[in-house]
Structure 1
Amino acid sequence: MTRIIMHGCNGHMGQVITELCAKDEEVEIVAGVDVSDHIQNTYPVYKSIAECDVDADVVIDFAVVQAIDGLLDTCVSRQIPVIVCTTGLSDAQNDKVKEVAKKVAVLKSANMSLGINTLMELLKQAAAVLGAAGFDCEIVERHHNQKLDAPSGTALALADSVNEGLLERYEYKFDRSKERKKRDKKEIGISAVRAGNIVGQHEVLFAGPDEVIEFHHTAYSKGVFAKGAIEAAKYLKGKDAGLYDMSDVIKNK
């Protein structure tokens, strides 16, 4: 049994994870942390991680960036592994994550979906073959109209995976509207669509002479990210200090 502290338990993702954990016999949420108390949970909820004195094997973080520093400090002092799912961290906070990982197990990934992380591994293999054959690579990502950042962190992570498989690093091209010239062979185009309530769609296209290979991933609900976080919690339990990501979880399957 993996005992979890849910950091940000009363947010949307916190509640999705709470529901999934209730159906999973291998995990149990033993405590939650949230400044909001508008939801009644089956476990005790604390205003801050520093106030939470419940023993646990791992913390899942889906809170806000303002709470990340206190969370990391507490996880170090109590030696509790932590899964950082909160996005939008500053450069200083990302640096702190790396420093904290020298003292306690930390898992951080651009996307918690098991499918996306499997796709990243496939893209490395595809790029090694198709890149060498001169195929162009383009990425199109689609999200809801409330998403603030573009391109998505996942799109950039997919591009990084492609680059890992190539013999040399390609540059990322986000906007071709301001220049009139042929496509550079050593670039990866990344386009962003913001419309409706699309949870998340990512398409990676390799186009070569007379043939096109496409990889698609569609998230129909945020449950895919919650499921990935729970699998990550099972994986991270008892791990030594270090910086882990979802590729480690995938390889352990």
Structure 2
Amino acid sequence: MVNILLSGCSGTMGKVLITECTKLENIKIVAGFDKQYSSDFSFPVYSNLEDIKEKIDVIIDFSNPVVLDSLLKFCVKSKLPLVLCTTGFSDSQIKEIKSASTETPIFFSANMSLGINLIKNLLIKAATVLYDGFDIEIIEKHHNKKVDSPSGTAYLLGDAIINSIPEENEYVHGREGYHKREKKEIGMHSLRGGSIVGEHEVIFAGNDEIVSIKHEALSKNIFAMGAFKAAKYLVDQEAGLYDMDDMLDL
């Protein structure tokens, strides 16, 4: 049995994980961590990590970047594996994550969907073939309550493209004014509205042909299942920084 501490249990994704976990065998949420919560849970919820009494095998975090520091300190001290599913981290916080991973295993992915991470690898291949004669644009859509923009997933896909192209490129966030598109640009466009779970599309636009690679999340359940897979994977790993490519052996 893999015992999980769920960080951010009162949030939207936290509630999805609680529901989905009841459908699984050999994995259980035994405690929660949340600064503010108002609902009743079937497990104890703590506002201070140091107060946790339950035996924990791994932490899954779907919360907010503001709690990262306390999570990393606790995991390093306790040598607990940490699955980070939160997005919107700053560059300095990402450095902290990498530093902490030298002392405890950390799984860090901007998107926990297996499909998105497969698409990321397809884009690396597509970019190496198409970059010379195609313009690249990224469009991402999410619900109106998402706070970070562009999404971490959009950057996950865009960075995979940039890192596979030999020429220098740069992101252009939306477009306004009167000027031509430059070849080095990778357009990044964010749409927010309604209850859109998540949609990402990368367009390679060439002369007389367009190649489009798209992923649409129909529910948040896929992110929960990806997080549980990552948790099971991480408990057997040594200290280090892991992602979906490692787990899927891509």
What TM-score bracket applies, with the shorter chain setting the length? over 0.9
Q: Percent identity?
A: 46
Taking the aligned partners of 2:92 and 2:85, their CA distance within structure 1 comes to 17
Alignment check: 8 A CA contact 1:108 1:244 kept = yes
1:241-252 to 2 correspondences below 5 Å? 241-251=239-249
Structure 1 match to 2:176: 177
2:86 counterpart SS class? coil
**Larger mean Cα displacement after TM superposition, 81-90 or 96-105:** 81-90
Structure 2 match to 1:136: 135
Taking the aligned partners of 1:225 and 1:187, their CA distance within structure 2 comes to 30
Matched, 1:33 2:30: no
Structure 2 match to 1:12: 12
Q: For residue 42 of structure 2, what is the amino acid of its counterpart?
A: T
Q: For residue 91 of structure 1, what is the amino acid of its counterpart?
A: D
Alignment check: 8 A CA contact 1:139 1:191 kept = yes
Q: For residue 82 of structure 1, what is the amino acid of its counterpart?
A: L
RMSD: 1.8
Q: For residue 18 of structure 1, what is the amino acid of its counterpart?
A: I
Per-residue CA distance 1:8-50 (angstroms, 9 max, x = gap) = 2222211211111111113111222223453332323222221
Alignment check: 8 A CA contact 1:5 1:59 kept = yes
Structure 1 match to 2:144: 145
Structure 1 match to 2:83: 83
Structure 2 match to 1:216: 214
TM-score, normalised on structure 2?
0.92
Gaps of 5+ in 1: none
Gaps of 5+ in 2: none
**Larger mean Cα displacement after TM superposition, 147-156 or 94-103:** 147-156
Deviation, structure 1 residue 90:
3.4
Alignment check: 8 A CA contact 1:65 1:86 kept = yes
2:120 counterpart SS class? helix
Alignment check: 8 A CA contact 1:9 1:33 kept = yes
Task: Say how many residue pairs are matched.
Answer: 250
Deviation, structure 1 residue 206:
1.1
Taking the aligned partners of 1:224 and 1:169, their CA distance within structure 2 comes to 34
Q: For residue 126 of structure 1, what is the amino acid of its counterpart?
A: A
Q: Kindly tell me: are residues 187 and 227 of structure 1, through their superposed partners in 2, closer, same or farther at Cα, counting changes over 3 Å?
A: same
TM-score, normalised on structure 1?
0.91
Structure 2 match to 1:156: 155
Taking the aligned partners of 1:80 and 1:208, their CA distance within structure 2 comes to 48
Structure 2 match to 1:231: 229
Alignment check: 8 A CA contact 1:57 1:238 kept = no
